[in-house]
Amino acid sequence: MKILITSPAEFLNFKAKAFRVMSMKYKPEDLTRLPRSVEYKNRMVHLIDQRLIPHEFKIIKLETVDEVAQAIKTMQIRGAPAIGAAAAFGLALYAETAKVESKEEFFNGFYRAYEILKNTRPTAVNLFWALNRIKHLAEEHREDSLNEIRQLIVEEAQKIADEDVEANLQMGHIGAEILPEGNILTHCNAGSLATVHLGTVGAVLRVIHKEGKLKLLWVDETRPVLQGARLSAWEYHYDGIPLKLITDNMAGFVMQQGKVDAIIVGADRIVANGDFANKIGTYTLAVLAKEHRIPFFTVAPLSTIDMSLKSGKEIPIEERKPEEVLTCGGCKIAPDVDVYNPAFDITPHKYLTGIITEKGVVYPPFERNLKKLFE
């Protein structure tokens, strides 16, 4: 595994180390006690129902494409890479269970399933990436037998999931090499629950914890849907990582006191110039990181990078229903007033120290170095 190192961010006093990771020290089972958050078994998509955590741990089994789409829409599963794998398994489910008379009928149904899954959420690019990867494969093999096509789709979906775990493991080892020892702050959940296993940010945190380099993890609760309080606090505490939960508006005060050595967050879409969409609140953390000269990284697989968009301004931002803001954890907290509820925000690349991927760390200038990454 070769690490891509370019110039370190110029606005931060952060020293990037040029290095080469020779092999991966840890396997997933060394790093977490959690099972995979999404799997395909016995013609069913198995998901950890994330809306029930931390109160209940329950695996639900979905038997139709509509059920999978619904689970993505209602955020029973969320997190860009996990959504990608779930959607891929949705197509596998269709491929294996579709009762059709002809290949044409199979493809008609396949495209319907593709559309249903594609229209679940607009911001995370992994969803489209995973669906298109399977669609292209199926189209390439249109001349094969129906049974072969069914099998190819199931295998490809499985491969997408397995590759996601492998990529996270790589990101974990790479990130651990460059992060400073001390206190890390994270936002939302880019942990095991946001991916197939381990997490993007989650893998990095688990490796540095394993190596004794993580003193304390600050977990932003991440309103309105509370992925930090409900999911990150739960899964990192479950794996024995020392943490403190804070409300989102405390992050600045914690940084002001010198108690944060680095910030790492996930990404829902990174575009060609390094701008990226991530959970609402990420941009605020980026501004705070700049003000306090704290290294600020996003951790994401290549499948999150969308080279077709030039700048963050082109990323569609999902607005969700007002109830998410008017309630909290199921309780009504406000009178019925108007609400603005963007699910994501855009962080311009100028705030970013680096992008930790499974192929290495990308530093500024991002436009040039992201291009290099895909060459």
Q: Which residues bind a copy of itself (CB under 8 A)?
A: 54-55, 218-224, 226, 229-230, 233-234, 237, 242-254, 256, 280-281, 283-284, 287-288, 290-291, 325-335, 337-342, 345-346
Q: Which residue has the tokens 């940010």?
A: 201
CA distances from 119 to 61, 68, 70 (A): 21, 12, 10
Q: Look up 268 and say whether it is catalytic.
A: yes
Cβ–Cβ < 8 Å for 167, 266: no
Q: How far is the CB of 237 from a copy of itself (least distance, A)?
A: 5
Question: 330-346: b or e for each residue (b if 16 or more CB lie within 10 Å)?
Answer: eeeeeeeeeeebebbbb
Contacts (Cβ under 8 Å, ≥6 apart) of 334: 325, 326
Contacts (Cβ under 8 Å, ≥6 apart) of 145: none
Nearer residue to a copy of itself within complex by CB, 254 or 373: 254
Nearer residue to a copy of itself within complex by CB, 171 or 280: 280
Return the closest-CA partner of residue 251 out of 208, 213, 214, 281: 281
3-state secondary structure of 205: helix
3-state secondary structure of 206: helix
Q: How far is the CB of 236 from a copy of itself (least distance, A)?
A: 9
Catalytic residue among 268, 275, 306, 345: 268
Structure tokens, 48: 């950890």
CA distances from 58 to 51, 85, 271 (A): 10, 19, 35
Cβ–Cβ < 8 Å for 115, 69: no
Q: How far is the CB of 194 from a copy of itself (least distance, A)?
A: 17
Nearer residue to a copy of itself within complex by CB, 212 or 335: 335
Nearer residue to a copy of itself within complex by CB, 22 or 331: 331
Structure tokens, 81: 């890479």
Q: How far is the CB of 289 from a copy of itself (least distance, A)?
A: 10
Q: How far is the CB of 219 from a copy of itself (least distance, A)?
A: 8
Q: Which residue has the tokens 């695996």?
A: 59
Nearer residue to a copy of itself within complex by CB, 88 or 251: 251
Q: How far is the CB of 243 from a copy of itself (least distance, A)?
A: 6
Other C-beta atoms within 10 Å of 324: how many? 16
Return the closest-CA partner of residue 46 out of 71, 28, 66, 29: 71
Nearer residue to a copy of itself within complex by CB, 24 or 317: 317
Structure tokens, 161: 């999931």
Return the closest-CA partner of residue 117 out of 155, 79, 85: 85
Q: How far is the CB of 275 from a copy of itself (least distance, A)?
A: 12
CA distances from 180 to 63, 297, 301, 309, 323 (A): 45, 12, 21, 32, 39
**DSSP 8-state assignment for residue 149:** H
Nearer residue to a copy of itself within complex by CB, 268 or 358: 268
Residues with catalytic roles: 268
